[in-house]
Every structure is written in structure tokens, then in C-alpha cells.
Chains A and B, each alone.
Chain A
Amino acid sequence: MSANGKPKFAMYWAAACGGCEIATLNIHEKVLDFDANFEPVFWPVAMDGKVKDVEALEDNAILLTLFNGGIRNDENEEMAHLLRRKSQILVAFGSCACEGGIPGLANLSSLDSLFETAYDTLSTDNPENLRPSPVYEAPEGELHIPRLYKVLKTLDQVVPVDYYMPGCPPESHQIAAVIDLVIQVLQGKAQLPPKGSVIGAGVSTCCDECDRKRNVKKISKFVRIQDVKEIDPELCLLEQGIPCNGPATRSGCGALCPAAGAQCIGCYGPAEGVVDFGARLMTAFASVIDSKDPQEISRILDGIVDPAGQFYRFNLAGSLLRAGKPAWKW
């Protein structure tokens, strides 16, 4: 407890874009409840705070830590260990912490090729062909920057995680609901779900919340959404040949994308009990292809131009294989 009697709260971003923080700040008037009940002690995006302040806390001093972003370098991992040690409840917050997210897609490539893309393309001004180096001998002394790992890892691949809250970012109303829940637990009015649970989401998949009309599925083509002239506003997108990840994606967002005429891209991760999101999605797509002819099947599958991106957009680092072969074998 803090001096003011309020339980401590922390939020940290590792390899992330910042969207999770914005979504958290976007809980509107719920922020007042939050303020009334929590004492933020460490939250780089919202307040000034130093790592040494966290280090100075007693273990388990923080009640709730929302950790977003994947583990891309040794600094991320160090912070994960630190916050784990200091927190009673550690939540993997958002797709990246839960499953790697978009940064996890870099697990398809070797670090060399990542650097090449970042520092060596035509549009990059880098005449000396410089690369980041973890240690640099500057005139003022030795400088250190975090060392990149070969692959990005999910939070639970480096420390034990209490709860998972998926979404890219998690929907603000779900965040508000989770904060509400924690407040109720503090007031003795509710109980926490079992450790390891997914919170702030449903147990079914996106289709459960999607208003589009669904029929028995038989797919005879896949087509990228930008190539579709006219999208039927009523009909299931998958039935229109648009590779919608909704059937495999955990419910909880309210099927926002399909409602807006865009396919679900899978940010809420796999449904309850599913080990590998991509595998589940590809088996579903393949099962309903309307052909028994290998050539035609092949032609239909040509419509999925980027299978790894399609099936593992948010889940690569958390999938069974975790990475493409170039990322770990070079």
C-alpha cells in the first residue's frame, strides 16, 4: 500500500507501439475510478519515474502491472523480470505481450536482414553502413544500448504471467471492465479468475459477435479485400472470399472490423484452449475449399498471397514454432 493507502499500479511498454497506452487512457471517466483506487508508481508514458524507484520497492509491492509489448532485447527482459518480482498481479497486456504481436512478425527474418531493411535500403541515408552496436567506445566513456535478441519473445516466455488480456490494442471498454473487476476484488465484492486465464475477452470467436449473415461455407476463391469491387454489407466476408480471421479469433472486441467492412485480422488471438492460432485458421480455411482437384485447390490457395502473414499476423512469437527458420538458424 502507498502512503495514501491506495494499491500500487504500474504499466510498462516493451517492444510495443504505444497503442495499448492510448487505449488505456481512452477509458474516459473510468479514469476517475482508477485514480480513486490506484496509485500509479511506474508508467513511463504517463508519468516520470525511474527504474531505480521500482528497484527500491519491496517485492510484490505493486498490486497490478499491465505489461505491454514483446521481449525484443535484454532491456525488455530485465524489466519483465523486475516487474514480475515487484508485482502481485502481472498481466500480459495486448497482443504483443500475449503473443508477440506485429513486432513478432520479425521472427520470420534473421537479424541481419532486419538490419538491412532498417539501415541499408535505398531510402536510408547511411553512407558508412553503420549498424547498432551494443557497446560503443565514446570519448566520454563506454556507451551501452540494449542488445537485440534473435527472436522476439512473448512475456510468458520469459516470466510467469498471471493473466492475459489480448487485443491490438485491448478495447477500452474491456480495460475499463477489468479495472472495475480489480476494484471490486479490492472491495471484496468479486473474486479473481483462475491464474492463467484470459481476461477482458470472450471464450468464443469473433463470429459470435459479428452481425453478418453466415451460411454453410464453400469457398471457391480467396481475394484480397482491396481487390474486391463491391463488398456485400450483409454477408459473411469469408463467404465473399475475403480471408477473414474472425472464425479463429477470440471474441471480445465486438467484431469491430467486420462491422466496418474490413476483415478481422486476428488481434484478439486464439480462442480458449487453442494451442496454435495459425494452424487452427489454416485448417478452417482449407477445410471449406470447394474443390477436390489438386490443381484447382492450388489455384484457390494462390489467393492467399502471404500465408504466414495471414495466419500469424499477431501470433507468430506465441505459436508452436515461434519463429521462421531464418530467425534462429543462420
Chain B
Amino acid sequence: MSEKTTFEPVIVGFTCNWCSYRAADAAGMGRMKYAPNVRLIRVMCSGRIDPQFVLKAFAEGADGVMITGCHPGDCHYIDQNYKTMRRYELLRRTLVQMGLEPERLRLVWASAAEGQILADEINDFVETVRALGPLNWPKWEKEETRQLIEEAV
């Protein structure tokens, strides 16, 4: 019996239909191996990425969240990813104030052709989060964590 010494983070990545999701397709087609810790969600545009989704991911146990989209200026919907950029910055500031390490939230631009860039970013992000250790945001509704939280001082 070996003690579990390695921590493997779970990352949720939000991708846009036109660029970064296609970058993931391209990474696949190019057989570019990258860390299996990331689980992607597709929305039409990074502009659809509601900060609620990011909070939800952390609350559901993600150790890190990636927000990805087309490069600024290359948005399929003209300039919606600038809104993503601004929301990311405000969300990051808020989460930092709530005690979250800023490195757990990352914004990545990847065009449909940039499978390698996306793969590299994923690898780097997984390493960064791995170094931070687990976030384990309490799944508040669950009984065991409930008890943990209610534990008196």
C-alpha cells in the first residue's frame, strides 16, 4: 500500500466554438499529447462564458478554470472576446479577494490553427495548479463536508 502522494488537479476549460474548441480539435488531429486533467466545455463564443459558470466549476471541485477564446480582434462575433477579457479581469480580482490563488484562473487565446498553443497552455496550467495543490472547494451540500464546516472552534 503506497500513500497517495501525487496530486492530480482537475481543470475545467471553457472554449468557444470557432477558435479554441477548434484548436482542441486541431491538437487532437495533430496527435499532440497533453495533460489529461482538463475537461472542456463548448460555448458559441467566449462572450457566453458567464462568471457564474466559473464559480460553479470551482464550487463543484475544479482546481483550476481556463477561459479560452479567439485572439482579440479575431472573434467570430467581431469583438465579443473583449468582453470576455474584461470579465475575466474583474472576476480574477474578486476571486483573489476571496482568497483564491490568481493562478487558478487562466485566460488563453487560441485560434483554430493553434492546437499546439492550446496544448502547451494546458500543460503549463496543469503544472501550475498541481504546484498549488488541491483547491477542494467544499461541496457544501454534502453531509461530510457539512460536518467539517460546522466543526466548532
Contacts and interface: CB of A to CB of B under 8 A. Distances in A.
* In the complex, A touching B (Cβ < 8 A): yes
Interface in B27-80: 50-52, 54-56, 58-59, 72, 79
Interface in A176-223: none
A285 B98 CA distance: 19
Interface string B117-153: 0000000000000000000111010000000011111
Nearest to B56: A320
A123 B86 CA distance: 41
Q: How many B residues are at the interface, by size bracket? A: 20 to 34
Interface string A116-146: 0000000000000000001000000000000
B29 to A, nearest CB: 31
A297 B85 contact: yes
Given A134-B152, A292-B72, A308-B97, A297 B86 contact: yes
Interface in A266-281: 275-276, 278-280
B151 A150 contact: yes
Given A147-B153, A151-B149, A320-B55, A307 B90 contact: yes
A150 B150 contact: yes
A279 B82 contact: no
B86 A286 contact: yes
Nearest to B53: A279
B103 interface: no
B69 to A, nearest CB: 14
Contacts of B150: 74, 149-150
Contacts of A149: 149-150, 152
B90 A325 contact: no
Q: How many A residues are at the interface, by size bracket? A: 35 or more
Contact of A282 (B72, B90, B98, B99): B90
Contacts of B90: 282, 285-286, 301, 304, 307
Interface string B8-42: 00000000000000000000000000000000000
A148 interface: yes
A301 B89 contact: yes
Contacts of B137: 321, 325
Interface string B96-114: 0111100000000000000
B63 to A, nearest CB: 13
Given A157-B140, A286-B83, A306 B89 contact: no
Nearest to A282: B90
Given A147-B152, A325-B100, A287 B94 contact: no
Contacts of B58: 320-321
A108 interface: yes
Interface string A54-96: 0000000000000000000010000000000000000000000
Given A280-B51, A327-B99, 15 more contacts: A150-B149, A275-B56, A279-B51, A282-B87, A282-B94, A285-B90, A286-B86, A291-B86, A308-B97, A320-B52, A320-B55, A322-B138, A323-B98, A324-B97, A328-B138
10 contacts: A74-B152, A149-B149, A279-B50, A285-B90, A286-B89, A287-B83, A294-B89, A319-B55, A326-B99, A328-B138
Interface of B: 50-52, 54-56, 58-59, 72, 79, 82-83, 85-87, 89-91, 93-94, 97-100, 136-138, 140, 149-153
